[in-house]
Amino acid sequence: MRHGTCRPHPSIRPLPIGRGNRRRRRAELLMSRVRRLRRSTAAAVAAALTCGLALAAPSMPAQAEPDPTLVPPNACRGVAASLVARMTPRERIGQLLMGQPARSGALPDEAARAQIQDYGIGSFITQNSVPRTPDGAAVFHNRMQAWAQESRSGVPLFIGMDLENGTVQQIPVAAGHPFPMGLGATRDPAATSAAARVAGTEAEAIGINWSFGPVADLNTNPENPVIGVRSFGADDTAVAPHTAAYAVALQEAGVLSAAKHFPGHGDTSVDSHTGLPTVEYEGATLDRHLTPFRSAFDAGSKGAMTAHVVVEAVDPDLPATLSPKVLTGLLRGELGFDGVVVTDSMAMDAIRDTWGLHEAAAMAIEAGADIVMVQGDARPVSDFLVEALDSRQLSAARVRESATRVVRTKCEMGLWGNRYADPQHALTVVGTPEAHQQGLDQAVDSMTLLDDDGVALPVERDARILVAGRDANRVAGELTALGATAVTPLTTPQSPSAAVRAQAVALAADHDVAVVTTFTSGAPNAAQAQLLNDVAATGTPTVAVSLGLPYDLAGLDTANARLATYAQNVNRVGSPEVYTGIATVLLGDRPATGRLPVPVGGFPIGHGSG
């Protein structure tokens, strides 16, 4: 729970207003403003009534504006239009930019303050910027919101993060859940909803009001180097209920969702961080890729994130982020989406190396994007856009339209009355035992056994167990924590050399069972496959465990059992609960009941031997 007050507490913490007292407190604040109105000049009246929320521009007469803390969501369109009408051009541009704060000690630095108060930047991505504790992150975000409240416009900030496997992605004590492909393997949208509800509740407690998810991409290209386990799967009809469930649960927890990466990044073979992907499919194939987005939008998702991908069926010349045909024609027109559209990071090579950050920002706004993710200091981009606006190279109508949509959405989310986090509350909400247990249950339910001849599984606790491959230490540690008494880890490089493979073979000969892990973020790794085959050739019962993409398991039929875990994304980030789940299944404490959400070799979607 977060609390809104007219002025931030001196410690940047909210006043302790309980839910039951909030209405009375707001009435008291309103009466206080009325009394000040009677004693003040007209200019002071406007400031008191809006409390810094909508001060008149210097050239305009001062007037009282509706207080967004007191209007119902259905009145937010009018309130937003009124507030934006009073903004300066730079303030309107500021609502269209998403910066990233640097840190000075435990708090955002002076440059972050300048972005907010001098330039009116209205949104920030704070992943990898905040202290990695619940209360530290809350205080960090509160400082930013206090600067925004004290600014001329007073509009609250959107503060967002990528939390695709839960708030644990940024706060280590938080609960984690499986990546979307793992949730897809459970075949249970209710589990996805529960995962998102925990993630949203924890995020809201630390001051996050926007989670950049769900991932609505269909991972139909096994060699996709960037989406992979971030996708719920490859079948549109199976994925769609999960994207809807995730979006709804996030927003019920008070956190805006953003279905991404529109209109689909799942069939690419190029990572848009390093190049410009193109997809060539048309017609029915495009429609299938749109299905999970439609499902999220129909369920009420108020946000969408663009893809830096050229979709030739819609616009063969420009990536979706810069394409009016995609953002205005397809997304707004055909799909009828009226929520906030944020770009993916414009610092990615797909955009920056071809169009340049500043020019691309203007192109994205003209195309129909509402917020441009700068992912850095947004002031230089603001300067460029203000100049483009002055020279009429950027449409004033487009800027006003998007600024109004952004402010309207902030109003609909109740951010004026709920802009601050309570650091002490965050400590009690984030990482509860119940949330961790839920994440573990979901992880176990996601584990997918492709085949098992009954020789290697379950692994006995008193057996001599070799764990070889990527992250062997982590898997071995979980086995030991659950009671295995003789576990030997051999952590290998991404591509284990012949010498490393020989070491694994020698160790396997002295062990009762071998667990060989794989990890790739694109095409299978031949050296990892050879490691598995060499170990299996010793005659020691062998289990192949894919930690990343399940496609690794396709050719590893020399193993006695093959287990897909969906544990790590392309950045090798994963939830601790999933590793505990791996050990739980290997030791036979619980069965692997997951089903493949993507085809793997000859195994179809829906296959599972557990």
**What residues are labeled active site?**
273, 344
Q: Residue 68 contacts by C-beta under 8 Å, 6 or more apart in sequence?
A: 53, 76, 79, 83, 410, 411, 416, 417
From 364, 141, 344, select the one nearest 259 (Cα to Cα): 344
Pairing of strands 448-452, 561-564: antiparallel
Count CB atoms within 10 A of the CB of residue 437: 12
Three-state DSSP at 570 gives: coil
Are the CB atoms for 102 and 111 separated by under 8 Å?
yes
Contacts with 502 (C-beta within 8 Å, 6 or more apart), sequence order: 534
Residue 358's H or E segment, with its range, is helix 357-367
Show the beta-strand stretches assigned E in 129-237: 158-161, 210-211
Are 92 and 394 contacting, i.e. CB atoms less than 8 angstroms apart?
A: no
Contact indicator for 609, 450 with CB cutoff of 8 Å: yes
Buried b / exposed e over 185-199, threshold 16 CB at 10 Å, is: bbbbbebbbbbbbbb
Give burial (CB, 10 Å; 0-12/13-18/19+) of 604: exposed
Q: What is the rounded distance in angstroms from the CA atom of residue 139 to the CA atom of residue 423?
A: 6
Q: Would you give the end-to-end CA distance of the chain in angstroms?
A: 41
Pick from 230, 191, 232: which is nearest to 605 by CA? 232
Q: Which residues contact 118 (CB under 8 A, 6 or more apart)?
A: 379
Alpha-carbon distance of 344 to 473, in angstroms, equals: 34
